[in-house]
Structure formats: structure tokens, C-alpha cells
Structure 1
Amino acid sequence: MARSAQIDVAVRFSETDLMGVAHHAAWVTWLEMGRLALIDGSGLPYTEIARTHHLTVVSVSLRIRRPLVFGDVACITTVLDRVGSRKVRFAYELHHRDSGVLVGTGATEHVCVDLEGRSSRLPDRVVAALRREPAPP
């Protein structure tokens, strides 16, 4: 079973555009929130990882299927898609919390870098935490 995390995010007025819908840049921020919830839930918070390494975003894909407006709540499911020696990929599904309708999908790919910004292997402790089976609910 792949590691996953779920969070709810309410669309803030400041995240909407002139058309009254959530701006696409807000969606990318929500992906980050979901990703950090997954990483922090692995037992090794990102703040600990960041002491020696960073997971630099090298690719973002986002498909907005239905708009969200101020006050809507999105349920974001983040799944650890792949863990390689230097790269990590996360996949995302966003559903309208009240209706359950799929409103968006996305993926991000990250390369591990050291504090000087050089590509690095993922530390063993990070790989172990991400691959660890989640505790049963």
C-alpha cells in the first residue's frame, strides 16, 4: 500500500481571480500543503530533512477539471508515487469535499539536493521514512 495523506483546504478569497474562481497558482500551493502533510506523517518531518537536504521541485503538472470558488473546501489526497535514489514523485487528487466530485489532479517530481544545491542521493533515513508502511487507522 502506497503512503498517502489527506487534508482539507478551504478556498480563501485572496486565492480567487477576477472570474471568482481559485487561481491556478493557489492549486500549486495546495499540492505543497498535501505533500508536506504526507512527508510530516511519515515520522520524519520536512523540517528535519531540511537540516541537511531539500526536495527541489523540478516538475509540476496540474489538471483543473472543475473550478473552485471562495468558500469551497477541497479534499486533497496525496500519494507517494515513486521513490528513486535521487528523485521522489507525488501524485494528487483534489475532490470537492461536499459533492465528492473530482476537481483536479496533479503530480510533482522532486530532486534531492544538499544545502549547497548539488544533486544528492536521498538520505537513507528519508527513503526509509517514506517507504515505511503507514500505521493502521
Structure 2
Amino acid sequence: MPETPPAPTPTAGRSFTSEFRVRYAETDAMAVAHHATYPVWFEVGRSDLMRELGLPYSEIEARGYYLMLSGLHVQYRRAARYDDRLQLTTRVCELRSRTLKFSYELRRLAEDGAAPELLATGETHHIATDRTYRPARMPDDVLERLRP
């Protein structure tokens, strides 16, 4: 029977660790995860972290704000492959009244219990806007929950 990965678990500070497997649809003909999939995984981690902090994106948008992506960086170190068990740690690493930066560490979990292998690191930069897409100051309660 296939092993079910554990549910996401909170980590210290304003960070969160998500676990998932590389799906076949995310790979190329060589069973290697396509480079464009990593930002999608970052979004999974970011969404998990925001939910854990009590700030799901749906709530932020219902309050009239968007956290628009303004920058993305990925440093690829090793290839993720089909069915690899991955662990993604997402952190709030910089916070200002109108901007937010998340950092990411993606690791492959070894089936034999060995230390996880670092596959990629990255950052996303976001700017808070109102519904007209103009930069806006995030509400104080949102800033407080995001503060590292």
C-alpha cells in the first residue's frame, strides 16, 4: 500500500512545511520535474503558510486586497523526479507595510531515512494592492500575523 505523506506541519516562527510528491504531469519525457513547476510548488507552500497564519488568500481578497507577484527567483540545485517525496519550507522573510517577501527551501525526502537533500531555493516578492491594482498598505492585523 503506498505511503500517504503526512499533513503539512507548522514550524518555528512565520514558516510552514508542506509535503507532497512530484506528479507525472509535472515531469518531462525523462521523468524530471519541469523547471516551471517550482514556482507552482512555491504557491502551494505560500498558500499553506497563509492558511496556517489564519490569512487565507480568499480572506485577504474578500477584504479588498491582492498580494500581487512582483518578483520571482529560483536557484535550481538538483533535479526533482517523478514520485519523489518533497518537503517545502516557506518563510516570511521580509515584511513592510506594502510589500512582502517569502523564501523557499525545497528538499527531497529519502525513503531510507537519510537526511533530506536540498533541491532548490527561491524567493517571491509581492506588493499589496487594492482592487484597482494601486499599491495599498496592508491592514495592521494582517501585518501583525505576518511579522517574522
Report the TM-score when normalising by structure 2: 0.84
C-alpha distance in 2 between matches for 1:125 and 1:97: 36
Tell me what 2:46 maps to: 35
- For residue 76 of structure 2, the aligned residue among 38, 48, 64 is 64
1:47-74 per-position Cα deviation (integer Å, ceiling 9, x unaligned): 1001110100000000111101110011
Aligned residues with identical type, % of pairs:
37
- With CA pairs under 8 Å and 6+ residues apart, which has the higher RCO, 1 or 2? 1
Counterpart check, 1:94 vs 2:106: yes
1:113 equivalenced with 2:124 (yes/no): no
Deviation at 1:113, TM superposition (A): 0.7
Q: Equivalent residues in 2 for 1:1-137 (5 A)?
A: 2-51=13-62, 52-98=64-110, 99=114, 100-131=116-147
Aligned partners of 1:68, 1:40: CA distance in 2, in Å? 26
The aligned length equals 132
Kindly indicate whether the alpha-carbon contact (under 8 Å) linking 1:86 and 1:121 is maintained by their aligned counterparts in 2. Answer: yes
Query: Which residue pairs with 2:6 in the alignment?
Result: none
- Amino acid aligned to 2:132: E
Q: Distance in 1 between the 2:103 and 2:143 partners?
A: 17
Could you list the runs of 5+ residues in structure 2 that have no partner in the other structure? 1-11
Partners of 2:142 and 2:28 in 1: CA distance: 37
CA distance in 1, matches of 2:51, 2:120: 23
Q: Which segments of 5 or more consecutive residues in structure 1 lack a partner in the other structure?
A: 133-137
Distance 1:30 1:49 in 2: 21
**Secondary structure of the corresponding residue to residue 66 of structure 2:** strand
What is the TM-score normalised by the length of structure 1? 0.91
> 1:2·1:81 contact (CA, 8 Å) conserved in 2?
no
Shift of 1:20: 2.1
CA RMSD for the aligned pairs?
A: 1.3
Letter in 2 for 1:29: V
**Deviations along 1:77-106, whole A, 9 cap, x unmatched?**
001101101100000001101250101100
